[in-house]
Structure 1
């Protein structure tokens, strides 16, 4: 019988433009986020029995080097790389360790120290992991480099052609997320822009302008997970947040069904979300707050449909009705999302976890959503892996 699993401590650094802080290296980032998570949980590092450490750009065993900033206790430390879903993959693995009984307390930590500019490949002497996806998209769309805005922009154009969404709908998502980030001291950007500003910013790949695209970032996030026995033993019920559903999916055959949205993970997202709804007994209508993977505004719009917030083709209606911000049916990306909070690949999923933990505890300050009882997280990496997690307040 799977055991109940709880988030008992979270911590993160402020996300920064790459190189903005001279000498700030990944061990410094990990020390800050990990120390904050331990302090939040009120435990000593010696109580951590396993650690899962995510990063995309780095040398082998960088995870060990990062966690050694917290202590050297000989525990298993697993290095994790799952593209942009790396942080939530580390979370998934730590949760499985606790849920299965292999550990009473586990650490998930993620970091990234990135290069400025668009993402690029590290090794050019071997097959690129996304080559199959690129070739499939090239058959149905013009080719553009760098590939990420091309892939998500093409999916946005496809939605416009099929369902009548407009460039303004996508821009409104950028407007919303930048507006939300004004109240997030951890966000890379904390500037509010008008809708005209969003639309008038530099075009990256129509309909995506610069202010609708996530930046490269440096930063780290951490979460400590524990069993019910551990929570009871340490008197942590008042701050514990239960993971009530969690699923990871990878590409299915229909990822190559000839549509742009499939190539950016639509079917993976649908399947992962449905598994979480089945596990938790919760549906989209039961959540008040959602952190989802808005690497580009086009992805957020498509995720409204993939996560079941609305029927396929009707995401634009949610935007027009103000259903995804304060005062609406859900608050989506109160942190500012990837677009404005930033996107250090290995840390993103753990920053989402931290935000939702704070929301469920009622400690999110000016970002606090009213009457939060359940929260939903979505994180995706192309190539591919989607991770969806549902949280609720611990039953006291």
Structure 2
């Protein structure tokens, strides 16, 4: 058994910190939506994996108990910004192993305003491994996410002789896509000059509109075996055709671009393409980890969507949007939809499932048959997932 069926998906609209409901309520709503979408009952779920990074232990149980208390295994997942897709990775493995026939992956987050920072000042940070490479490339001080992705963007500009306008163009594209997404936090259009003129938040070039907002929300996905889907008359419209997780290697510390995940993304993507027997050019629609627009540019090349150093050409040709080679971030991505960390990877899954089912409304990628998901966490982990109909 190689394929796992997506039985149901659900998500809550993402919102700004302070405008959200408790994580328990948001997560329970997302789970209920996934169950309704699948037509299954809560009693059909045999294992659950709950992703979040801000909260005490067993928050996943607390959220799941609002839906049902059936005594099943519930595993709490924290893998930084890749937590949601890691939960999905584990749920898929549980089904593939034959241990269970039906599993739930869900994610949620209550975030605070402002840039992400360290919460455990009394112990060693896992990000100290980044310090030597960032110091070598003279990255200014700042919160870790700004420092890492900001220096990666600067290194990309210096290496390939491009300006920050490239990153502004990506922000404009993302917002244009979000206009048609009722679940997106930001839906007003942007222009390039507006992005470039916004408040600079790092290293003289990275503006606020090139960074995703901290947001709150939840999402859920139910996966099952093909046998289970047939027994319960679920159909098998969307399947996970291949999936790979990778972590850092020594290559990660060569420069800031690799330190934010390029090399591990390349590894995971290559595994997915080889397993499925496809090339990147076969893909129709993509949701990737655009926490900062420089990372979206870097990821184009890491996923093999264009050659190294050719992202500017790729973007100028419109190959990242409707009418081009790929539609990337039809949801508006993390940049416009928001990035409630534990929910992000699951929300990406939901978006791609809707496109493959033909249920994405005004943002529908017509004729979509293959969809790719990329979800990244510093520290580090990346999960690349291929969906097909």
Query: For this structure pair, what is the TM-score category when the shorter chain's length is used for normalisation?
Result: over 0.9
Shift of the alpha carbon at 1:3? 3.8
CA contact (8 A) 2:115 2:146 kept: no
Deviates more, 1:219-228 or 1:187-196: 187-196
Question: Residue 175 of structure 2 aligns with which residue?
Answer: 178
1:188 aligns with 2:206: no
CA distance in 1 between counterparts of 2:100 and 2:121 reads 39
Please say if residues 170 and 207 of structure 1, whose CA atoms lie closer than 8 Å, have aligned partners that are also in contact.
Answer: no
Counterpart position of 1:14: 13
Aligned to 1:42: 39
Ranges in structure 1 where 5+ consecutive residues have no aligned partner: none
Alignment of 1:379 onto 2:380? no
Determine which of 39, 60, 65 is the counterpart of 2:62.
65
Q: In the TM superposition, what whole-angstrom CA distance separates every residue of 1:307-354 from its partner, at most 9, and x where no partner exists?
A: 000111111111110000011110000000001100000000000000
Which of 220, 231, 234 lines up with 2:232 in the alignment?
Answer: 234
SS at match of 1:109: strand
| Partner of residue 335, structure 2 | 339
Q: 1:202 aligns with which of 199, 205, 210?
A: 199
> Partners in 2 of 1:212 and 1:142 — Cα distance?
18
Alignment-derived partner of residue 133 in structure 2:
136
Residues in 1 aligned to 2:246 and 2:168: alpha-carbon distance in whole angstroms: 29
Are residues 1:310 and 2:306 paired? yes
2-structure distance, mates of 1:171, 1:143: 21
Following TM superposition, by how much is the alpha carbon of 1:143 offset from its aligned partner in structure 2, in angstroms?
A: 2.4
Could you tell me how far apart the structure 2 residues matched to 1:182 and 1:382 are?
29
Cα RMSD (Å) of the superposition? 1.0
User: Structure 1 residue 268 and structure 2 residue 259: aligned?
Assistant: no
CA distance in 2, matches of 1:152, 1:308: 20
- When normalised by structure 2's length, the TM-score is 0.98
Name whichever of 147-156 and 347-356 sits farther off.
Answer: 147-156
CA deviations 1:39-62 (Å, max 9, x no partner) are 000000100000000000000000
> Does 2:94 match 1:102?
no
CA distance in 2, matches of 1:155, 1:207: 12
Contact 2:2 2:241 in 1 (8 A): no
Aligned to 1:115: 112
- Contact in 2 for aligned 1:3/1:98 (Cα 8 Å): no
Give the stretch that moved more between structures: 189-198 or 139-148: 139-148
Q: Please give the per-residue CA displacement for 1:283-327, whole angstroms capped at 9, x wherever unaligned.
A: 111111000000000000000100000111111111110000011
Q: Which runs of 4+ in 1 moved over 3 A?
A: none
Equivalent residue for 1:165, pick from 162, 166, 169: 162
Q: 2:218·2:343 contact (CA, 8 Å) conserved in 1?
A: yes
Alignment match, 1:326:
322
Local SS of the residue matching 2:342: coil
CA–CA distance in structure 1, aligned partners of residues 323 and 205 of structure 2? 27
Deviation at 1:136, TM superposition (A): 2.6
Q: Does 1:5 align with 2:1?
A: no
Q: In the alignment, which of 27, 30, 36 is matched to residue 27 of structure 2?
A: 30
CA distance in 1, matches of 2:73, 2:2: 21
C-alpha distance in structure 1 between counterparts of 2:95 and 2:314, whole Å:
37
The offset of 1:122, in angstroms, is: 1.4
- State whether residues 305 and 312 of structure 1, in contact with CA within 8 Å, keep that contact through their aligned partners in structure 2: yes
> How far does residue 282 in structure 1 lie from its aligned partner after superposition?
1.5
Count of aligned positions:
388
